[in-house]
Amino acid sequence: MIASLRALWHSLSLSKQFAIVAVMVLLPGMAVTGWWIAEKIGDAVVRNTASAIAISMDGLLAPYVPELSRGEQISTVSQQRLDMLLERARENKTIVSMKIWHTNGTVMYSTFPSLVGQKFPPSDIFQLALAGEVGADFDNEPHEEDVNERMQGIPLLEVYAPLRDPVTRKIVAVSEFYANGEQLGRDVRSAVTESWLFVCGVAALMIAFLSGIAVKGGQTIAKQQALLREQVNELTELLQLNEGLREKLRVANENVSSVNEQVLQHVGADLHDGPAQRLSYAVMRLSDLRRRTRTVDAAKPAIDGLKDILTETLADIRRLSGGLALPELQDCTLAEAAGLAVKSHEDYTGTVVQKSFKSGDFAGSLAQRNCIYRLVQEGLNNSYKHAKARAQSVSLERAGSAVVLRIADHGPGISKAASGSVKGLGLRGMRARVDALGGMLTITEADGGGTIVEAILPTIDGQHGDG
């Protein structure tokens, strides 16, 4: 049961939960407040009515105060006058009966003569009158001395008022009046009803106001929760993307390391199979020449042959070192880096390469400049080997937040298998460089024949320095 209630509670929206709690808290509080206000209003109506009656009757009883101060009884004449006074008061159907009490609790006068001379225990409101205040009791439990009044079957307002000596202001007696409380009862009920209506109205307004705040707050919280969920989703996607980029970078670094190792092996093999072999051969020829030849003229043909071998070897070494070393790329643009690679290729091969550089003065980073240089260098070398230098071209342009490099030729083209796998050492090196910078490399066969190498490198928009 408790579990189901808890589940039901959690299924409610925040605004509904708040509204329920507000009602549970406000209703008891407003009920207590309403009861307290009703009691206070009822007491106030009773006191005001009692005070008005006491004031009006005090003026009528003032002539009898001196006689009342002389003993516990009054004369027959005074009793008759009081009877006549009470009869006139009854005509307006307000006063039902009257008593005059001695301060010791003895009845000195009563509408019912049988009570005269009897002594009764003082009630609380009687004691209040002795203290100098007007006491009132509306339709409460009957006392021994008011049985006759209660027999009339109507609600009664019992009023006790002090009677003071006009000279000494000493309380000499207490007057008691029983007034018809039917109208008073209606007035009290009306006042209580109005007070309850007011309290209920205030409670309803407070609940509505708080519910409105709760609904508005719930909507705001719902929007914030939706925004937070969206941000969390975006952060999750970014984390996943970062993980993918991190993995891609790791693979690229591994590829770069592998390519570097293969490059070193390739260079070592080239040095061993080319210049090193020819130098060894030259050393052997020199040793043989020294052993067999006696004159300079006789050695001249052999020396010329050794010169050719050494010249060719030096050219090979320069070619290899030129491929390993980078020119100064610290203070140049991407277009200038591509231009240096093109010029180096033209000087080495004696060919002409078509250039189209539309990247402006965009410098990019040093890593991007190095990558552009190596891509152009390797792409033109591959094109020269396979396309026999037919219609080589290099273009570089900005495309939004990226730079696009294209190296093309009109050679025999590259097979689809080769373009998809990119297994060659040079092509693998190109792919590793582009991947390390978060770019994309594609190698495709042109429609009219030939090969197109395209590299797209992301940039920071507006970048003009080495960031």
3-state SS track over the chain? CHHHHHHHHHHCCHHHHHHHHHHHHHHHHHHHHHHHHHHHHHHHHHHHHHHHHHHHHHHHHHHHHHHHCCCCCCCHHHHHHHHHHHHHHHCCCCEEEEEEEECCCEEEEECCHHHCCCECCCCHHHHHHHCCCCEEEECCCCCHHHHHHHCCCCCEEEEEEEEECCCCCCEEEEEEEEEECHHHHHHHHHHHHHHHHHHHHHHHHHHHHHHHHHHHHHHHHHHHHHHHHHHHHHHHHHHHHHHHHHHHHHHHHHHHHHHHHHHHHHHHHHHHHCHHHHHHHHHHHHHHHHHHCCCHHHHHHHHHHHHHHHHHHHHHHHHHHHHHCCCCCCCCCHHHHHHHHHHHHHHHHCCCCEEEEECCCCCCCHHHHHHHHHHHHHHHHHHHHHHCCCCCEEEEEEECCEEEEEEECCCCCCCHHHHHHCCCHHHHHHHHHHHHCCCEEEEEECCCCCEEEEEEEECCCCCCCCC
- As a whole number, mean pLDDT of residues 59-82 equals 79
| 300 pLDDT higher than 90 | no
Confidence of residue 208 (pLDDT cuts 50, 70, 90): confident
What is the signed CA dihedral for 217, 220, 226, 229, rounded to 10 degrees?
Answer: -70
Local confidence band at 148 (pLDDT 50, 70, 90 cut-offs): low
228, 233, 239, 240 alpha-carbon torsion, rounded to 10°: 170
Cβ–Cβ under 8 Å, residues 205 and 22: no
Share of the chain above pLDDT 90, in %: 4
Tokens standing for 65? 């105060």
Please determine, for residue 418, whether its predicted confidence score (pLDDT) is greater than 50.
Answer: no
pLDDT of residue 406: 93
Structural contact between residues 103 and 115, judged by C-beta atoms closer than 8 angstroms: no
Contact 339, 355 (CB under 8 A): yes
Per CATH, which fold does 328-467 belong to? Answer: Heat Shock Protein 90 (3.30.565)
Mean pLDDT across the chain:
77
Whole-structure pTM value: 0.42
Compare 231 and 27 and report the one with higher pLDDT: 231
Share of the chain above pLDDT 70, in %: 75
pLDDT at 93: 66
Q: What per-residue confidence (pLDDT) applies to 404?
A: 93
State the pLDDT at residue 396.
Answer: 93
Q: What is the pLDDT of residue 240?
A: 87
Compute the chain's Rg from CA coordinates. Answer: 59
List all residues 6 or more positions away from 324 whose beta carbon is below 8 Å from its beta carbon.
Answer: 267
- What is the domain partition of the chain in residue ranges? 11-194, 274-325, 328-467
For residue 232, what pLDDT is reported? 92
Structure confidence by residue, pLDDT tens digits, 96-112: 788 888 888 888 888 88
Domains 11-194 and 328-467 share a fold: no
What pLDDT does 447 receive?
77
Most confident of 193-202, 226-235, 359-368: 226-235
Pick the most confident of 115-119, 203-207, 314-318, 324-328. Answer: 115-119
CA 400/CA 4 separation, integer angstroms? 59
Average pLDDT of the residues in 52-58: 77
| Candidate ranges 146-150, 209-213, 240-244, 254-258; pick with highest mean pLDDT | 240-244
Residues shown for the chain: 467
Q: In the structure, what pLDDT confidence band is assigned to residue 271 with cuts at 50, 70 and 90?
A: low
pLDDT tens-digit map of 356-399 = 988 777 888 888 888 899 899 888 888 887 766 578 899 999 88
User: Bigger pLDDT: 413 or 391?
Assistant: 391
pLDDT digits (tens, 9 = 90+) for 308-353: 777 767 666 766 655 565 777 878 888 998 999 898 888 877 888 9
Mention the CATH class of domain 11-194: alpha beta
**What pLDDT sits at residue 276?**
61
**Is the pLDDT score of 127 beyond 60?**
yes
